[in-house]
Each structure stands twice: as C-alpha cells, then as structure tokens.
C-alpha cells in the first residue's frame, strides 16, 4: 500500500519510537509531526516532500533522521535542536542547496552526515565546521542494518 498522506491518527502515537514512511508518495507533512516526541528513528526518504516541518525540532530523542531522495532545497534550522541526533542522511536530495552547518556541527552526538549525490550541495561545498562529519559515499550502513530500522507503518 502506497501512502499519499500521513494518516492523522499517526500523530496520536506519542510513544512511537520508529517510524518508516520510506518509498511512498507523501508530498506534505503536518506540523503535528512534532508531537511524536518519543521517535528515535525517522525515515522519510523516497517521498515527494519538498519541505520538512519546523516542528521536527521537537523530536529531541531522534538519533537517526533519513530525509534522502526528497525534493527539499533546505532543512529547517530547527534540526539544530535535535541534541540526540547522531546520523543525518540527505543523500540523493538533488535540489538540496544548503544545510544549517554551524548548528549541526554543534550537536553533541553527531557523527555522520550522508550527502551522496547531492550535486547542488556538494558544488557549493560550504560545509565549514560540519566537514568532519560529511560522508560523500553511499550510506551502506542502512542496507546492512537489521532490526527496528526495517519496520514499516501500514
């Protein structure tokens, strides 16, 4: 089943820790995404999103954020509020022009930012202090990982 939108009832699952909405045709996320404050892993990759809600900054428990293969041109500054974030994947987001590099580089647990095939972003090469976390290779970590990262919401 392909989702065109996120069911409103999903935003009531405040204890949800893993959410995989990958490979759907979702073009809009409600600001209520910020109510899912127990999320540890959020995968929004391979959708039709051109914007991530600023309320994503409310997801303080988030350690993995996959926003790869989207139509976004930027991430909201509020991703800098994700103090538990360890891994960010924006790979294949070909329209992505910038990252909030100063803010992301100050996240205490950050260790990897995947930017594979982000042509506009790589061309700008404006990573500054975030450079030490940048990985221009394919994020093979995900394809080898077994466990909760593979759960699907249906």
Q: What is the pLDDT of residue 129?
A: 81
pLDDT at 143 over 60: no
Q: What is the pLDDT of residues 11-46, one digit of tens each?
A: 999 999 999 999 999 999 999 999 999 999 999 999
Which of the four pLDDT bands, split at 50, 70 and 90, describes residue 151?
very low
Which of the four pLDDT bands, split at 50, 70 and 90, describes residue 127?
confident
In terms of pLDDT, which residue wins out, 90 or 144?
90
Which of the four pLDDT bands, split at 50, 70 and 90, describes residue 140?
low
Partners of 18 in the beta sheet? Answer: 41
Q: What is the pLDDT of residues 97-113, one digit of tens each?
A: 999 988 899 999 999 99
What are φ and ψ of residue 137, in 5° steps? -90, 170
> Mean of the pLDDT values across residues 47-69?
97
Distance CA 71, CA 84 (A): 25
- Give me the chain's average pLDDT, please: 89
pLDDT at 2 over 80: yes
Q: Which domains does the chain have, with CATH numbers?
A: 8-150 (3.80.10.10)
């Amino acid at each position: 089943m392909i989702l065109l939108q996120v069911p409103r009832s999903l935003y009531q699952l405040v204890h949800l820790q893993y959410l995989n909405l990958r490979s759907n045709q979702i073009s809009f996320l409600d600001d209520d995404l910020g109510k899912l404050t127990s999320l540890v892993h959020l995968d929004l990759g391979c959708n039709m999103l051109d914007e991530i809600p600023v309320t994503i900054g409310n997801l303080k428990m988030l350690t993995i954020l996959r926003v790869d293969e989207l139509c976004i041109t930027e991430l909201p500054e509020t991703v800098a509020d994700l103090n538990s974030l360890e891994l960010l994947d924006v790979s294949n987001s070909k329209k992505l022009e910038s990252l909030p590099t100063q803010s992301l580089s100050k996240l205490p647990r950050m260790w990897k930012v995947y930017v594979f095939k982000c042509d506009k972003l790589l061309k700008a090469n404006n990573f500054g202090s975030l450079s030490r976390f940048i990985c221009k290779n394919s994020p093979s970590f995900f394809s080898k990982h077994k466990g909760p990262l593979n759960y699907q919401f249906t």
